Chain A
C-alpha cells in the first residue's frame, strides 16, 4: 500500500512541471492560435467562430469551416507589420550587444574581486529589482527629458548650450533596455567566469601569451556559455518589450510589442493581434530552440 502511494507520488512529481507547462503555456498558446484563425466581428467576444460545446458536434464542424488564414496574409501584405518585426529585432540586437559590452567587464571584475567583496557586489547588481520596473523606467524620463537631470547637469558643466534630445529617440530605448536588462547579462556571465580556474590564464602567459592574448584565447572561449545565456535572457524579452519603447521611445518608434498592444486594445482586432503574437513566437523562439539544441549537441560531442 505504502509502495503504491510512493509510486503515485513519484509519478506526480515528474508530471507536475509538465502539467504546469500544459496549463500555463500550451493551452493559452492553443487559445491564441485559435483566435488568430478567427474573423473579427463587433460582438463579445469580438471574433467568430465561438465554440459552445452545448451546440453539439455538427456546430463544431461548421465552426471549423469558418477558420481562415486571412490574418496571416494580412500581416505579410502590410509592410507595417514586417517593418515592426525587423525594427524590433534590430533594436533588441543592438541593445543586447551594448548590454554585453557593459556587462562583461562588470562580471569579470566581480569574478576577480576578493571573495569577501563578491557577495556585496552581487547584492548591488540585484538591488534595483527591489524597486518596481515601471517606476525605474519612469525615473529615466526624469533624467532624459529636455529639461531633465542629465541636461541640467551638462548645462551646469557648460558642455552644451542647448538641450540634448534623447527622449523619444532610439537612444533612449537603448539606455532603457541596457539599464533594465543588465543584471540578466551580468549574472550568467558572473556564474561562468567565477568558476573558471584562473591558473589557466597564468598557464597561457607562461606559454607565451600576453595578458590580452590570454583573455581572447582562454577567458572568452571559456565564457561562451555565459555569453549565450546572457544574450538570450536580454534579447528575447527585449524583442517583445512594450513598456520601455512606449515610455521612452518616440511615437514613430515601431516595435512589435507596441503594434500588438495597438491591435488588441486600440483596434480591438483580437484575431490580428493573436496572429502577430503567433508569428513573433515562430520567428524568434523556433530558431532559438534549434540553435540551443545544436549547441547542446555540440557540447555533447565535445564531452
Chain B
C-alpha cells in the first residue's frame, strides 16, 4: 500500500481504536444571539497531539478554543478533558493555558514577573518559582531579557515571553490563538519549527488556531478544516492535501483543478468520468458512485504535466492554449485555457536549469496526468 504525502508518521493514535481520546467535543453548539458560531460539532484530540484548527475568520475556530479555555460556555453539548466534564469550571481552575493572539503580556510587569504570574497564583514556593522561571527563560532563549518590560522587546521576543508564560504552569493542553500571526514571514518560518521542537520536548498537547494553511500544514499532526461552525474534515496534512473529502477542503488548502462530469462506467478499480471539459478522465477510485452521478475530479497543479506534444503513454490528456505563465524560480506555473473556456493550472518543478521543450504564451499545449493523480469527489 502506497502512503499519502512524503512523511512516514509513527505517532498516529487516531488510527488506533484502543487509544483513549484526551479532549472530546461532543455535539457542541455555541450561539451568540441569532449567530451560530459553532454548530453541533464533535471532535476528538489525543494526548501529545499537535492539533490545528484551520479556517477563514468567523468560522468558529476561535470560539471553540475559547470554550475549551473556559471564556465561553457551550450553548449545548459537552467538552471533556482527560475524562472530566469541563462544564461550569471557571477558566482559572482549568488545567489548560492559552497563548493569546495579542500576547496579552502584562505591561506593568517585567518578563520574569509575567512568566512567574501563573505560578504565584498556584502558591508555588518561591525557590521553585525562581527555578521554573529560569528554566522557561532558557527554553525561549531570553535569559538576558528577564528584567525588561514587554514594550522594550521586539515582536518575536514578546511572542516567546507569551509562550513561556503559558507553558510555565505545565498545562495539560496549551491553546494557541494565531500564535505566529503578528510575526513577519521569515521569523514565522523559524518559529514554526521552534514550536514543534518545544511541543516535542515538553510532551504537551497543543491546540492551535490559525488561518494560515502553511502554518497548519507544517506544524500539525492533524488538521481540522472548519467552515461556518462545522468541521469539514479532520485528517493529517497529507490526507487533507492529497485526499480532500470535499470540494471545499480541496479548494481551501492549496490550489486545485476541478473537472465536473458524470460517471460513465467503472472497471477494475478505475472510474470513467465524462467531463464537460471535452475529454474523459480515467480515475483510480474503488468506491465510486453509480453511473450517471455527477462527480468532480480534483487534481493538484503539480500533478499535471505540460508539454507541446501529447505524451504517448498518457492515460488522461487534454489540449489547450497557454494563457498565462508565472516563473517563480523553483517552479513555473502555467494557466492553460481549454476549448470550453475552463482554465487549468499546471505547475512544473524546475529541477533542471534548462529545458528542451520551452513554452510561450498562446502556444498549443497538452496537459496530461495519470489515473491516480487526483480524487473523485461527490460533494
Q: Does B270 contact A (CB under 8 A)?
A: no
Of the candidates A200, A208, A210, A213, the one whose C-beta lies within 8 Å of that of B106 is A200
Residues of A within 8 A of B102 (CB): 197, 199
What residue in chain B is nearest A218 (Cβ atoms)? B106
A211-267 CB contacts (< 8 Å) to partner B: 213, 218, 221-222
**Which of B81-89, B114-122, B284-292, B316-324 sits within the interface?**
B114-122
Chain B 79-108, CB within 8 Å of chain A: the 1/0 string? 000000000001110001110101011111
Q: Is the CB of A210 within 8 A of B108?
A: no
Decide yes or no whether A280 CB sits under 8 A from chain B. no
Residue of chain B at shortest CB distance from A302: B149
Q: Which residues of A contact B165 (CB under 8 A)?
A: 207
Cβ-based interface call for A281 (8 A): no
Counted as pairs of residues, one from A and one from B, with CB atoms less than 8 Å apart, the total is: 60
In the complex, the answer to whether A209 meets B121 with C-beta atoms within 8 Å is yes
A205, B90: Cα distance in complex, Å: 9
Residues of B within 8 A of A202 (CB): 71, 91, 98, 100, 104
Residue among B100, B118, B121, B149 with most chain A CB within 10 A: B121
Residues of A within 8 Å of B, CB-based: how many?
18
Q: Does A77 contact B (CB under 8 A)?
A: no
A206 — which chain B residues lie within 8 A by C-beta? 69-70, 91-92, 96-98, 166
Q: Encode contact with B along A43-67: 1 for CB under 8 Å, 0 otherwise.
A: 0000000000000000000000000
Q: A200 touches which one: B90, B97, B104, B166 (CB < 8 A)?
A: B104
Q: Report A176-209 residues with CB < 8 Å from chain B CB.
A: 197, 199-200, 202-209
Partner of B104, one of A197, A213, A222, A302: A197
**Residues from chain A with Cβ under 8 Å of B106 in the complex:** 200, 203-204, 218
Instruction: State whether the Cβ of A3 lies closer than 8 Å to any Cβ in chain B.
Output: no
Q: How far is the CA of A32 from the CA of B38 in the complex (A)?
A: 72
Which residues on B sit within 8 Å (CB–CB) of A203?
Answer: 98, 100, 104-106
Residues of chain A within 8 A of B262, CB atoms compared = none
User: Is A162 at the interface (CB under 8 A from chain B)?
Assistant: no
A residues in contact with B117, CB < 8 Å: 204, 207
Inter-chain CA distance A206–B71, complex, in Å, is 9
Minimum C-beta distance from B203 to chain A (A) = 21
**Residues B149 and A205 in contact, CB atoms below 8 Å apart:** no
Nearest Cβ on chain A to B129's Cβ, whole angstroms? 13
Q: Is A11 close to B, CB under 8 A?
A: no
B151 within 8 A of partner (CB):
yes
B169 and A303 within 8 A (CB): no
Smallest Cβ distance from A243 to chain B, in angstroms? 39
**Assembled-state Cα–Cα distance A223/B108 (Å):** 11
CB atoms of B121 and A207 under 8 A apart: yes
Give the distance to chain A from B217, nearest Cβ to Cβ, in Å: 28
Asked if A208 and B100 make an inter-chain contact with CB atoms under 8 angstroms apart, the answer reads no
Q: Which of B91, B107, B108, B169 contacts A205 (CB 8 A)?
A: B91
Proximity bits, B335-370, A CB within 8 Å = 1, else 0: 000000000000000000000000000000000000
User: A277-303: which residues lie under 8 A (CB-CB) from chain B?
Assistant: 302-303
**Could you tell me if A205 and B100 are in contact, using CB atoms closer than 8 angstroms?**
no
Cβ distance B112 to chain A, nearest Cβ, rounded Å: 14
Determine the chain B residues whose CB is within 8 A of the CB of A197 once the complex forms: 102, 104
Question: Judging by beta carbons under 8 Å apart, are B92 and A205 in contact?
Answer: yes
Q: In the complex, A204 Cα to B152 Cα: how many Å?
A: 21
Closest partner residue, chain A, to B71 (CB atom):
A202
The answer, among B70, B108, B118, for a CB contact under 8 Å with A207, is: B118
How close is A214's CB to chain B, nearest CB, in angstroms? 9
A200: chain B residues at CB < 8 Å are 104, 106-107
CB distance from A266 to the nearest CB of B (A): 51
Kindly provide the distance from the CB of A61 to the nearest chain B CB, expressed in whole angstroms.
Answer: 58
Chain B: CB-nearest residue to A301? B149
How far is A208 from B37 in the complex, measured between Cα atoms in Å? 27
Q: Which of A199, A208, A218, A221 contacts B122 (CB 8 A)?
A: A208
CA distance in complex: A199, B152 (Å): 20
Q: How far is the CA of A11 from the CA of B108 in the complex (A)?
A: 39
What is the minimal beta-carbon distance from A114 to any residue of chain B, in angstroms? 13
A207 to B106, CA, bound (A): 12
Measured CB to CB, the nearest residue on chain B to A199 is B104
Rounded to whole Å, the gap between the CB of B71 and the closest CB of chain A is 6
A199: which B residues are within 8 A, CB to CB? 100, 102, 104
Q: Which residue of A lies closest to B104 (CB)?
A: A203
Do A207 and B151 contact each other (CB < 8 Å), given the known contacts A199-B102, A200-B104?
Answer: no
- In whole Å, how far is A207's beta carbon from the nearest beta carbon of chain B? 3
Q: Are B151 and A209 in contact (CB under 8 A)?
A: no
Minimum Cβ distance to chain A for residue B152 (Å): 8
CA distance A210 to B97 in the complex (A): 15
Tell me the complex Cα distance, A205–B94, Å. 10
List B contacts of A204 (CB < 8 A).
106, 117
New contact pairs (17) apart from A200-B107, A203-B106, A207-B165, CB-CB < 8 Å: A197-B102, A197-B104, A199-B100, A200-B104, A202-B100, A205-B70, A205-B71, A206-B69, A206-B96, A207-B118, A208-B92, A208-B118, A209-B121, A210-B90, A222-B107, A303-B149, A303-B151
**24 pairs of residues in contact across A and B, judged by CB atoms under 8 Å:** A197-B102, A199-B100, A200-B106, A202-B71, A202-B98, A202-B104, A203-B100, A203-B104, A203-B105, A204-B117, A205-B92, A206-B96, A206-B97, A206-B98, A207-B121, A207-B165, A207-B169, A208-B118, A208-B122, A209-B121, A222-B107, A303-B149, A303-B151, A303-B152
Top 8 A-B residue pairs of the complex, sorted by shortest distance between their CB atoms: A208-B121, A207-B118, A203-B104, A199-B104, A205-B91, A208-B92, A206-B98, A221-B108
